[in-house]
């Protein structure tokens, strides 16, 4: 019977590719002023409301969640998640240096950006990692209580987007909901409990 465990090299390439995909999605969202939910969404809100960058807030806001990750999901999951968060923070910061977008339709940005982030998350989950924060909690609830990661994440995303009403334009909120739905549908459809372990 084949093993579901991945080798170290397989995990490394997956984390790099997944965070590259997610960083492209985040770039599309940032370019059109859209938001995503979860910890990334909170980082977006912090970026719009303060002088700190997305990468700085995203990296710092994840730190307390590593305690839950280490205690409940193991040190391997925690280290891989820390690496993914660090890489995403770096990629998001430097991706604009490599890509210049002269025109970007917001609806396209919402759908494709959401799909890119969703595929990145799916790849990370399948290799026993995440993008930290509330996704660590989602992974824990999935393994402990069999709660769908996609459905939990979608619920959290909508709460974050509701909070964004006080900061960004309502049209950006509606498009962000489309993006969050696209992202989480990838997880709802493709991430099945029991196929992969986070440890």
What are the tokens at 132?
A: 């930290």
What confidence score (pLDDT) does residue 187 get? 83
Report which of 144, 155, 138 is spatially closest to residue 191, judged by C-alpha positions: 138
Instruction: pLDDT band for 2, please (50, 70, 90 cuts).
Output: very low
Lowest mean pLDDT among 77-81, 114-118, 156-160: 156-160
Its pTM stands at: 0.82
What pLDDT is stored for residue 79 in this prediction? 94
- The residue extents of the domains of the chain are 8-96+104-190
Bigger pLDDT: 124 vs 145:
124
Helix (H) or strand (E) holding 94: helix 75-94
- Which band of pLDDT confidence, cut at 50, 70 and 90, is reported for residue 9? very high
Buried residues in 93-121 as b, exposed as e (16+ CB within 10 A): eeeeeeeeeeeeebeebbbbbbbbbbbbb
pLDDT digits 0-9 by tens, 132-172: 888 888 888 888 888 887 788 778 878 887 878 877 788 98
Residues 80-107: tens digit of each pLDDT: 999 998 999 899 889 888 988 888 999 9
Distance of alpha carbon 152 from alpha carbon 157, whole angstroms: 9
Which range among 19-33, 46-60, 164-178 has the greatest average pLDDT? 19-33
């Amino acid at each position: 019977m084949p093993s579901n465990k991945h080798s170290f090299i397989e995990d490394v390439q997956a984390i790099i590719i997944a965070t590259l995909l997610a960083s492209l999605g985040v770039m599309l969202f940032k370019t059109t002023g859209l938001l995503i939910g979860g910890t990334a969404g909170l980082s977006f809100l912090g970026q719009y409301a303060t002088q700190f960058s997305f990468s700085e807030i995203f990296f710092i806001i994840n730190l307390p969640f590593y305690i839950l990750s280490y205690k409940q999901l193991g040190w391997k999951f925690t280290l891989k998640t820390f690496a993914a968060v660090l890489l995403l923070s770096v990629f998001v910061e430097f991706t604009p240096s490599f890509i210049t977008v002269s025109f970007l339709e917001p609806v396209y940005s919402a759908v494709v950006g959401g799909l890119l982030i969703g595929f990145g998350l799916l790849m990370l989950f399948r290799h026993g990692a995440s993008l930290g924060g509330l996704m660590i909690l989602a992974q824990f609830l999935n393994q402990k209580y069999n709660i769908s990661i996609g459905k939990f994440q979608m619920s959290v995303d909508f709460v974050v987007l509701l909070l964004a009403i006080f900061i960004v334009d309502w049209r950006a909120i509606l498009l962000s909901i489309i993006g969050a739905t696209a992202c989480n549908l990838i997880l709802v459809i493709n991430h099945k409990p029991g196929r992969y372990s986070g440890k």
